[in-house]
Homo-oligomer: A and B are copies of this chain.
Amino acid sequence: MATSRKAALSERPAAPAGRRPPGRTAPKARLSPAERERQIIDGAIAYFSEVGFSGQTRELSKRLGITQPLLYRYFSSKQALIERVYQTVFEGRWNPAWVSLMRDRSIPLRERLVEFYRQYSAATYRPDWLRIYLYAGLSGPVLNQRYINHIQRELLPVYCREVRHYCGVESPDLPVAEEEIEFVWSLHGGMFYYAVRQHIYLLPMRVEFMRKVETAIDNFLAGARVTYPRLIASLHGAAAAPAARRRR
């Protein structure tokens, strides 16, 4: 990400590379393939997130300060570049430490959730990520399915077990049910839609994000104290009956 900023700054050099002062980063001249590739990907993320994937390769190359055929030396087709953009954005911004954070019972659950959304929003609730995420979803569900499934398998079950613990209804033997996953999706969805309103619809947000996060988490947890035990009980009733039968 720091690299993306750096690359963005080095756009639009004036002089057509004539000489190369030693020790100075030449703005436009020959770059090493790795460097150039990186620059193209970063530029493509910025460009496509702005105009969508129907944006033209000529305009992209113009913004990069290179000619359009050069793109095809590094990517065999526009589609190949697009898929590289997807991959970079989706796989590059997930932090596995978030799962550990969520599991860390030395911190009150409320604070864990607040801290998680602070970090998660800093990584993904940004215009480029959100726009590419939505463009991707509209052009084909596969990548978003993978992303959602990742969250649903890695993060949310932990989330659920911690909410169980918080509500005093720990059932280590009872696997996390779909109803529970869906239950915590509600909280997550509220945050996501805030980000969409802010960064995609560009609405003036009159309540700061972290303040909203705290309010939403407080309400979620206060409600969970009441409704989560009921939810677990209904699952026990439905799931434990056959299990009990098996036990006999």
Contact = CB atoms under 8 A, between A and B. Distances in A.
A107 to B, nearest CB: 21
Contacts of A179: 207, 211, 215
B54 A215 contact: no
A16 B134 CA distance: 41
A228 B148 CA distance: 31
Q: Is chain A's binding surface mostly helix, strand, loop or mixed? A: helix
A15 interface: no
Interface of A: 52, 54, 131, 134-135, 137-139, 141, 144-145, 148-149, 178-179, 182-183, 185-194, 196-197, 200-203, 206-207, 211-212, 215-216, 218-228, 231
14 contacts: A52-B52, A52-B54, A138-B138, A141-B201, A182-B206, A182-B215, A183-B215, A186-B194, A186-B216, A190-B190, A219-B224, A219-B227, A222-B222, A223-B226
